[in-house]
A and B are shown apart, each in its own frame.
Chain A
Amino acid sequence: MAVESRARDYSLIGPEGAKAQEKGLAGAAWYQSPIPRKQLKDLMQRSDGPALRDTAIWIAALALSGSAAAWLWGTWWCVPAFFVYGVLYGSSSDSRWHECGHRTAFKTRWMNDVVYQLACFMILREPTVWRWSHARHHTDTIIVGRDPEIAVPRPAYIPGILLNLFALKSGAKAVRLLFIHAAGRLAPEEETFIPEAEHGRVYVVARIYLAIFAAVAAACAAVASILPAMLIGLPTFYGGWLAVVFGVTQHAGLAEDILDHRLNSRTVTMNPLLRFLYWNMNYHVEHHMFPAVPYHALPRLHAVVKSDCPPPYPSLWAAYAEIVPALLRQSKDPSYCVRRMPGAVAGSR
């Protein structure tokens, strides 16, 4: 059997997008596990309580670790404080922008929007761009040429993933796009998923972000120290590693171009601390199948659909025990992917 060694074009403006449309993969109907309407309605109920509690803990932990880091600046004791602060700032912001972007974390709309804006800044994801990017990701999850959020294209570029542990590749791209947007332009790919009416908002926010970073740089110059940047801006880079560790588990090594989230997404069992940091996004199959269910109800949703889904990975280690060999194999054979439910009929509803 011939091995497909040629890498596919993952660009949204290349030939794969048109092919996906021809094959009926764009904007298609996806498989959903059957759930009685009454039960689904109950799972979709919104509440401010869990997210208010979690956000209060998150902000308090940020304030505490950030204050400790600043106070201990100049000693080695600041290292563990920055470690905690960085993870809370650069990694936990990932799930916060995500959940609040769906506007399901809080019942109250403005609370979702406030935390969304804050978390987007922390992880350097421009809010308007990523709102539309993520909508497309949910429409066309891991459909090549359509999904702008395929984190690990085939063949995997392992050095790129390692660089992203400190946001060196993704962060550099984000900064470059900030300048493009601040100049009043979008990248060609972004024009395919951001409506024209929203372009002005992108430009304004990019200029605000750059103004904030300029103010931080000025503060560093004024105090002749990088401490201000260690608290605002740089944590996106030195604290972003856990978001990558979590994020790679979501889809890497699984099927492309298939209309069934059970075959292109992973659910990984995690301990309560990691689930707090990740806001239950480890229930990723469930989230993609029913994005209207808030993060705090995902464990209950998991219990409802688990008999219709592949067994969850019992730990991050277990997930990576599958992902790493799969990515290495894909480097030689990009057509390879992990298949966990060979009997599943994709696209059936």
Chain B
Amino acid sequence: MSGAPAAIWVAACAADDVEREDVVRFDHDGRTYAIYHSPDDAYYATDGLCTHEEAHLAEGFVSGTIIECPKHNGRFDYRTGEAKGAPVCVNLKIYPVKIEAGRIFIDLA
């Protein structure tokens, strides 16, 4: 018996809604998420608020595989959630993503 919880796939937005090397915001069930489209045409999802002071990352700047917080310029690798140095010290939670019929689903399990 596996200890991993069953996936809970939630439709977030159309894949076309996220430009390449950009991010959009997705709110669901009282929480906010950020959906990314990388330069190599892959999609990723993270928590939507910066771990430093809760600014919305979807208002930030995507450069390659880095999302930069719009408020204090803290940077994360959105593929892994890794915080890349002050003023962000806590990693970002990431979520699995899949594309079906042109829509982006994220696993919120």
Given A131-B87, A291-B73, answer yes or no on A139-B53 (Cβ-Cβ < 8 Å): yes
How many contacting A-B pairs (Cβ < 8 A)?
41
A138 to B71, CA, bound (A): 7
Q: Chain B nearest CB: distance from A285 CB in Å?
A: 16
Interface mask (B82-106 → A, CB under 8 Å = 1, otherwise 0)? 0000110100000000000000000
For B52, the closest partner residue in chain A by CB is A135
Beta-carbon contacts under 8 Å, A284-299 to B: 290-292
Interface assignment of A197: CB less than 8 Å from any CB of chain B:
yes
User: Which of A46, A128, A138, A198 sits near B72, CB closer than 8 Å?
Assistant: A138
Chain B residues near A46 (CB, 8 Å)? 61, 63
Q: How far is the CB of B16 from the nearest CB of chain A, in Å?
A: 14
B63:A198 contact, CB within 8 angstroms? no
**Contact (Cβ within 8 A) B71 A139:** yes
A41 close to B89 (CB less than 8 A): no
Rounded to whole angstroms, the CA-CA distance of A23 and B88 in the bound complex is: 26
Q: Whole-angstrom distance from the CB of B106 to the nearest CB of chain A?
A: 20
Q: How far is the CA of A255 from the CA of B22 in the complex (A)?
A: 35
The CA of A27 and the CA of B71, in the complex, are separated in Å by 11
Residues of B within 8 A of A37 (CB): 22
CA distance A27 to B55 in the complex (A): 9
Contact A292 B63 (CB under 8 A): no
Q: Which residue of A lies closest to B69 (CB)?
A: A292
Residue of B22, B52, B54, B71 touching A291 (CB-CB under 8 A) = B71
Residue A309 interfacial (CB < 8 Å):
no
Q: Which residues of B contact A290 (CB under 8 A)?
A: 70
Cβ distance A214 to chain B, nearest Cβ, rounded Å: 28
Q: Is A104 an interface residue (CB 8 A)?
A: yes
Q: Is residue B60 contacting chain A, with contact meaning CB distance below 8 A? A: yes
- At the interface, yes or no: B47 with Cβ under 8 Å from chain A? no
A207 to chain B, nearest CB (A): 20
* 12 further contact pairs, Cβ within 8 A, besides A103-B73, A290-B70, A292-B61: A27-B53, A27-B54, A103-B75, A128-B86, A132-B87, A135-B52, A135-B53, A135-B87, A139-B72, A198-B86, A292-B69, A292-B73
Between-chain CB contacts (< 8 Å), 10 pairs: A107-B63, A131-B86, A132-B87, A135-B53, A135-B72, A138-B71, A195-B89, A197-B89, A291-B73, A292-B60
